[in-house]
Amino acid sequence: MEEKERMLKGELYSPNKSSILLNEMKRAKELCFKYNSIDLYSEIKNEIIEELFGHIGKGFHIEPYFWCDYGYNIFAGENLYINHNCVILDGARVEFGDNVFVAPNCGFYTAGHPINIDERNSGLEYAKPIKIGNNVWIGGNVVVLPGVTIGDNVTIGAGSVVNKDIPSNVVAVGNPCKVCKEL
């Protein structure tokens, strides 16, 4: 089985042993570099994101600097706004619903590494999907970790590390992120 197949199945894989993954990552980094280098209001920026992402709905805006690993695993609904310095490690699917607002310096990391030292040192990693619901606001400096689902109508407070699922209709904050208020 090729490393990309393992990655997409959520199994341990080695991205550095796959010419396919290395080429796809190179393509994504080149598109991100181009995106980050173009005039802020150029129509070409939208075309780059549409080429990069697996899907993106109408009414999106992504501030520079934006980086991702592959791009094709990112799926977004309508009215996505991502502020400056966002990183999406998309070895697995990253899904944003409609009306999602992401503050500066946020990271969405599907990638993780084994606890077993020998496996980790051999370059193995895994990827688990992230899903963000509709009408979600992610505060500044938030990190969302592999395998997390955030429900609809949620606010995640600034500085949170989201390592477990967050239900719909809540405000959640902290490290680790926990529900502090139901809406």
The domain of 19 spans 3-182
Contact (CB, 8 A) for 130 and 148: yes
Q: Which of 29-33, 42-46, 78-82, 102-106 is the least confident region?
A: 42-46
Contact (CB, 8 A) for 89 and 128: no
Q: Which amino acid is at 178?
A: K
Structure pTM? Answer: 0.96
For residue 40, pLDDT over 80 is answered with no
- Please write the tens of the pLDDT for every residue from 54-100: 999 999 999 999 999 999 999 999 999 999 999 999 999 999 999 99
Catalytic residue among 55, 61, 84, 113: 113
Contact (CB, 8 A) for 170 and 151: yes
> Which three-class secondary structure state does DSSP give residue 4?
helix
Strand order in the sheet with 161-162: 66-68, 86-89, 107-109, 143-144, 161-162
Q: Which of 40-44, 83-87, 123-127, 163-167 is the least confident region?
A: 40-44
pLDDT value at residue 1: 67
Distance CA 158, CA 8 (A): 30
The whole-number average pLDDT for the span 138-149 is: 98
**Neighbour-count burial of 74, counting CB atoms closer than 10 A to its CB (0-12 exposed, 13-18 middle, 19+ buried):** buried
pLDDT value at residue 126: 97
Domain count, the chain: 1
For residue 119, pLDDT over 80 is answered with yes
pLDDT value at residue 160: 98
Whether cis (ω within 30° of 0) applies to the bond prior to 176 is: yes
Q: Which residues pair with 132 in a beta bridge?
A: 96, 150
Averaged pLDDT of the chain? 96
What's the CATH number where 140 sits? 2.160.10.10
Contact (CB, 8 A) for 102 and 82: yes
Q: What percent of the chain has pLDDT over 90?
A: 96
The answer to whether residue 84 is catalytic is no
The whole-number average pLDDT for the span 160-183 is: 97
The whole-number average pLDDT for the span 33-60 is: 93
